[in-house]
Structure 1
Amino acid sequence: MLRENVTDLLAFIAVAQEGSFTRAAAKLGVTQSALSHTLRGLEARMGVRLLSRTTRSVAPTAAGERLLKTVAPRLEEIENELAAVVETREKPAGTIRITATDYAIDSILWPRLSKVLPDYPDIKIEIVVDYGLSDIVADRFDIGVRWGNQVAKDMIAVRIGPDARLAIVASPAYVKMHPAPRQPKDLLHHNCITLRLPTRGGLYAWELRKGKKEIQVRVDGQCTFNGTYQMLNAAIDGAGLAFVPEDLAQPHVAAGRLVYVLEDWFPTFPGPHIFYPARREFSRALAVVVEALRMDASPAGE
């Protein structure tokens, strides 16, 4: 195979994985027309069509799918090995991609990373806000952040925060106009501020707990968001009841902008963890980030 095909193969993999010339071009930092020209040249040299193009989508053909499954993992292995060689330098270097919710980013990740990054100018971080429980391997992230009970068993997990309690809150004005619910089923008659989960395609069902009793309530309301801070702000403005981390709501409760509702049903979830594949090449840059985020005095085994 001609040497120039390696670069063209990387272009093909980007298009096949993204399912879009536009997104792949942005990812590779080239123009869409240049990327299209590259793929046509690769197909011409190989004598086989690799991509099926329509006006709305791009998908690999049978030949393209075979190439994607066999070549992409090998190129990734080569990339990892080259990165490992680079890591033998004196200073840790490289880009670490992280996916997390905005709450985890603002309350844990950035406060800790901002203190460390100035000491490692050759380390770059890319943090993506995501509530979709992304597959970090398929989406090429180095680290993901989830509650402890959401981390897959085949991943290495490191605790970065204590167990978290979630709270139902509303503004005093809302509670004055709408009597506070006395039990979870009463939430069905309230204007609840809901959270859209992208991967599941639906609204998050509030997971409530009282002692050993657990219940999920599929609430509904006028406002739906895909971020925690937006739900919190809507509750402060009197738009309805919101279900948010208690530590985020507490300052507003103390200031009188919010009140707690159904407090005896507030659940506690295993604390946030970062996680990454056990088989991944553990670079020095990744080690720096993991240690910066690790919770002090984590329980044994975490």
Structure 2
Amino acid sequence: MSQPPSFDGLPEFLAAARRLSVSKAALDLNRTPGSISQALQRLEQRLGLPLFHRTTRRMSLTEAGQALLETVGPAAQAIASGLEDAAQSAQAPSGTLRLIVERLALPHVIEPVLPVFRQAWPNLNVEITVSNRHEHFVTEGYDAGILIGSYIAQDMIAVRLCQPYRWAVFGSPAYFRAHGKPQQTRDLIQHQCIRFRRPEKGDIYRWEFLENGSTVRVDPVGAITVNDGELMRSLAVKGAGLIYSSTFHTSRELAAGTLEPALLDCSPGSDGLFLYFSKTARHQPKLRAFIQVCNRVLEL
């Protein structure tokens, strides 16, 4: 199919504007410098104005050329991305999908999703690493990870895998009967808190609240420190102290009535589990297939 006349000269213009050199534009487009110059001249004649300042040593954009580049450049990039998306979507998922996931995602995401995913794509292999240490996600060759949203680097693309949840203090009914429920964050100093040491950083996690419109961070005081969330919740169920967790992490205990929330009105906001990946990985057919199954199974 022939190229629309209105597009004549635009590929040559964009290449020359990017490189500010006819000879380099010719190399990029696998053309002769003469054909590039002729295409630029025809475009300038059609528009009725010069697009480049030319000397024997250098080339630069005129004001009109700069304006055209700012208008046409993003559109050309959008067209190129659209063509790439179309080409990628035509490819069937293949190879091995490598995921690094935090333990919390196992019962809530991996266990319900993986059997359906394998049934849909039986020729696709899956490798799952369970870890809370995601700082070397890219260099270790993972296609995607599953992590709490607030821990994900800002340059990653994130897809929500659960409904938003809230952070709060949780304790057993027996603990609250014996010691009462904290009504304000300053009441926490009167309670035994089970502290959580983050495995990925080694520090004690500070409890964060929103009180009177301001963020309040509390260094919990208590005789017990753990680095495992499941153990922390189990100890709280047994009345060993209060914990700082979320309505998602404690969903099973809340449903069973073995834990109750406190200071829920001081929750710093909603969070959730997210599948995250780099921008360069977003077009992988195997990753797109996994996202589609997650959306279907988790009813997002």
TM range (shorter): 0.5 to 0.7
Structure-2 change in CA distance of 1:284 and 1:266 (3 Å): same
Q: Distance in 1 between matches of 2:126 and 2:145?
A: 13
Match of 1:287 in 2: 288
Deviation at 1:255, TM superposition (A): 3.8
Deviation at 1:235, TM superposition (A): 0.8
Structure-2 change in CA distance of 1:261 and 1:289 (3 Å): same
Structure-2 change in CA distance of 1:94 and 1:195 (3 Å): farther
Q: Distance in 1 between matches of 2:226 and 2:124?
A: 33
Alignment of 1:153-172 (within 5 A): 153-172=154-173
Deviation at 1:254, TM superposition (A): 4.8
In structure 2, the residue corresponding to 1:202 is in which secondary structure?
coil
Tell me, yes or no, if the aligned pair for 1:167 and 1:249 is still in contact at 8 Å.
no
Match of 1:215 in 2: 216
Match of 1:266 in 2: 267
Deviation at 1:210, TM superposition (A): 3.8
Match of 1:277 in 2: 278
Deviation at 1:112, TM superposition (A): 2.0
Match of 1:151 in 2: 152
Match of 1:230 in 2: 231
Tell me, yes or no, if the aligned pair for 1:96 and 1:123 is still in contact at 8 Å.
yes
Q: Distance in 2 between matches of 1:152 and 1:126?
A: 22
In structure 1, the residue corresponding to 2:234 is in which secondary structure?
helix
Report Cα offsets for 1:88-125 as digits up to 9, x if no partner: 99853322222222222321233222222122222222
Report Cα offsets for 1:57-81 as digits up to 9, x if no partner: xxxxxxxxxxxxxxxxxxxxxxxxx
1:200 aligns with 2:163: no
Q: Distance in 1 between matches of 2:146 and 2:226?
A: 20
Tell me, yes or no, if the aligned pair for 2:162 and 2:273 is still in contact at 8 Å.
yes
Structure-2 change in CA distance of 1:248 and 1:88 (3 Å): closer
Alignment of 1:1-302 (within 5 A): 92-210=93-211, 212-280=213-281, 282-294=283-295
Structure-2 change in CA distance of 1:100 and 1:268 (3 Å): farther
Aligned length: 212
In structure 2, the residue corresponding to 1:194 is in which secondary structure?
strand
Report Cα offsets for 1:118-175 as digits up to 9, x if no partner: 2222222222232334231122221122344443332222222222212321112222
Q: Distance in 2 between matches of 1:257 and 1:270?
A: 23
Tell me, yes or no, if the aligned pair for 1:100 and 1:146 is still in contact at 8 Å.
yes
Tell me, yes or no, if the aligned pair for 1:147 and 1:269 is still in contact at 8 Å.
no
In structure 1, the residue corresponding to 2:236 is in which secondary structure?
helix
Q: Distance in 2 between matches of 1:180 and 1:95?
A: 49
Report Cα offsets for 1:174-222 as digits up to 9, x if no partner: 2233233232133234222222212322111112224632211111323
Deviation at 1:241, TM superposition (A): 0.7
Amino acid at match of 2:136: D
Tell me, yes or no, if the aligned pair for 1:155 and 1:278 is still in contact at 8 Å.
yes
Q: Distance in 1 between matches of 2:220 and 2:146?
A: 26
Match of 1:57 in 2: none
How high is the sequence identity, in percent, across the aligned residues?
29
Structure-2 change in CA distance of 1:140 and 1:196 (3 Å): farther
Tell me, yes or no, if the aligned pair for 1:192 and 1:242 is still in contact at 8 Å.
yes
In structure 1, the residue corresponding to 2:186 is in which secondary structure?
helix
Structure-2 change in CA distance of 1:285 and 1:211 (3 Å): farther
Tell me, yes or no, if the aligned pair for 1:131 and 1:226 is still in contact at 8 Å.
no
Q: Distance in 2 between matches of 1:220 and 1:124?
A: 46
Amino acid at match of 1:283: Q
Amino acid at match of 2:125: K
Amino acid at match of 1:234: L
Q: Distance in 2 between matches of 1:173 and 1:149?
A: 32
